[in-house]
Amino acid sequence: MTVTPAVSGTAHTTLDDRLEGVYEAIVRRNPAQPEFHQALREVFETVGPVVAKHPEYVEAKLLERICEPERQIIFRVPWTDDRGEVHVNRGFRVEFNSALGPYKGGLRFHPSVDLGIIKFLGFEQLFKNALTGMPIGGGKGGSDFDPKGRSDAEIMRFCQALMTELQRHIGEYTDVPAGDIGVGERELGYLFGQYKRITNRYESGVLTGKGLAWGGARVRREATGYGCVYFVERMLEARDMSLEGRDVVVSGSGNVAIYAIEKVGQLGGRVIACSDSTGFVHEPTGIDVELLKQVKEVERLRMSDYAERRGSGARFVDGSGLWEIPCEVALPCATQNELDGDAAAALVRNGVIAVGEGANMPCTRDAVRTFREAGTAFGPGKAANAGGVATSALEMQQNASRDSWTFEHTEERLLEIMTDIHDACFETADQYGAPGDYVTGANVAGFTRVADAMLALGLI
């Protein structure tokens, strides 16, 4: 499977009049949601040829229906901090689409969370989940709660307050939340505990990303990072290359980044830098992933603490500049719009050959354009980071059958799923005259799966 890199011209940037009209009407109706508009625009720019080929999609107004969430829930979350002071946060759950299965997607706790952010994430999730081939619809939720600096007891009270309302909307067959930024195993534990207490049901399948002792699945913790690296490895293979001996730069140092770093090492590459919201560490001999886990996962400290413990080989740089470090593979694994056009230009100048989005929409529109025009192998998040949610679907499968698989078997399934996603994107891009363009491949393949299911289910 060898490919000629995508060249400029395969990246559609103008829409035909009908699509432009639909897009503008949605933007007008959903003001002040720039990230949602950005996610929509990218899909609109690539699905034109599919819609043109399927008059039944147009007649059923599928594009318009797909862009309108089935349900949007916003609620008050009052809680008290350790000093007894009352706080009021906002909780969200956007149930985007359930044509393929129960709504599925994470919860994000971050001060930047608002309805537009949750809608962009839910929209991406819908196509991502369709690409996994698993029976899961798309949803997303979270809160503008800032977990930074909060004690364990405060985190627990906040999670209990959020679940007190959220529990009436979710369920094994309805909507299955998981983690995202700011929500990991600790938070999911408190959320599951409160769900169990209120409903009086040990309903394991209502949440995924659970701890192993209480219904969790092996490999779920590693899955997003591992899956992203598998996807990049497949993109390189399609160009008769591999990760072996390559220098890799990763942004972030959370769940996705840590396990991406681990898998790059296992496949013979070397991660020479990673970051957090304060700055980055450059370590030319390779990041020590075990120390990184200790510092970030166990002690919940910063990258500067990691650098301090590593000594002279690791340099901490306060601020930006991560993407100026020369590398052959770049994995943005932090957050949306973290890698802009200038950063992409620097990476291309320094000879990057592959980029895999471990986070959701980490590359700006300018950055994506730069990579596609340069012929860089570019794996968009909805394909490259689908390993997390795919393994969540495996967790649901194990919960439903009250079974628990081995690490090896689960990882084998993850590898198969990521390979299938890669091949589906690759082949679809080819069919639609954009060889090697995984953005077109992912959007068209995901859209078609959702659209066909919606058509079959009638006007609902």
Single-letter amino acid code for the residue at 101: G
Nearest in space to 144 (alpha carbons), one of 115, 166, 104: 115
Backbone phi, psi, residue 141, to 5° = -155, -170
Question: Residue 126 has which token pair?
Answer: 């819908």
In terms of CB distance, is 109 or 190 closer to ligand GLU? 109
In terms of CB distance, is 211 or 279 closer to ligand GLU? 211
Q: Which helix (H) or strand (E) holds 331?
A: strand 329-332
Q: How far is the CB of 332 from ligand GLU (least distance, A)?
A: 14
Select from 156, 178, 295, 327 the one that contacts ligand GLU (CB under 6 A): 178
Number of amino acids touching ligand GLU (CB under 6 A): 12
Tell me which residue has tokens 């698993």: 134
Contacting residues for 157 by C-beta, under 8 A, at least 6 apart:
79, 80
Alpha-helical regions (H) of 17-109: 17-29, 34-53, 55-59, 62-67
**Exposure letters 352-375 (e unless 16+ CB within 10 A, then b):** bbbbbbbbbbbbbbebbbbbbbbb
- 204 makes contact with ligand GLU (CB under 6 A): no
Select from 154, 175, 180, 233 the one that contacts ligand GLU (CB under 6 A): 180
Q: How far is the CB of 442 from ligand GLU (least distance, A)?
A: 14
In terms of CB distance, is 50 or 118 closer to ligand GLU? 118
How many angstroms separate the Cα of 437 from the Cα of each of 10, 223, 383, 421? 8, 24, 12, 14
Return the DSSP state at 61: T
Select from 164, 208, 370, 443 the one that contacts ligand GLU (CB under 6 A): 208
Q: How far is the CB of 337 from ligand GLU (least distance, A)?
A: 15
Select from 392, 399, 428, 440 the one that contacts ligand GLU (CB under 6 A): 392
Pairing of strands 270-276, 315-318: unpaired
Select from 216, 388, 436, 441 the one that contacts ligand GLU (CB under 6 A): 388
Q: For residues 429 and 434, give the distance between their C-alpha atoms in angstroms, rounded to a whole number.
A: 5
Residues 290-319 touching ligand GLU, rule: CB under 6 A, are none
* Residue of 140, 210, 296, 382 marked active site: 140
260 contacts 250 by C-beta, under 8 angstroms: yes
Residues 352-371 touching ligand GLU, rule: CB under 6 A, are 360
In terms of CB distance, is 124 or 288 closer to ligand GLU? 124
Return the DSSP state at 360: S
Q: Candidates 47-55, 154-162, 211-219, 386-394 — which segment interacts with ligand GLU by CB under 6 A?
A: 386-394
Clarify whether 140 is annotated catalytic. Answer: yes
Q: How far is the CB of 129 from ligand GLU (least distance, A)?
A: 8
Q: How far is the CB of 60 from ligand GLU (least distance, A)?
A: 28
215 contacts 392 by C-beta, under 8 angstroms: no
In terms of CB distance, is 180 or 283 closer to ligand GLU? 180
Q: Candidates 112-120, 289-297, 387-395, 433-441 — which segment interacts with ligand GLU by CB under 6 A?
A: 387-395
In terms of CB distance, is 379 or 436 closer to ligand GLU? 379
46 contacts 439 by C-beta, under 8 angstroms: yes
For the chain, the straight-line distance linking the first and the last C-alpha, in angstroms and rounded, comes to 41
Residues 95-124 touching ligand GLU, rule: CB under 6 A, are 104-106
**Sheet containing strand 103-109, strands side by side:** 71-80, 86-97, 138-143, 103-109, 175-178
In terms of CB distance, is 210 or 246 closer to ligand GLU? 210
Catalytic positions are: 140
Q: What is the binding site for ligand GLU (CB under 6 A)?
A: 104-106, 125, 178, 180, 208-209, 360, 388-389, 392
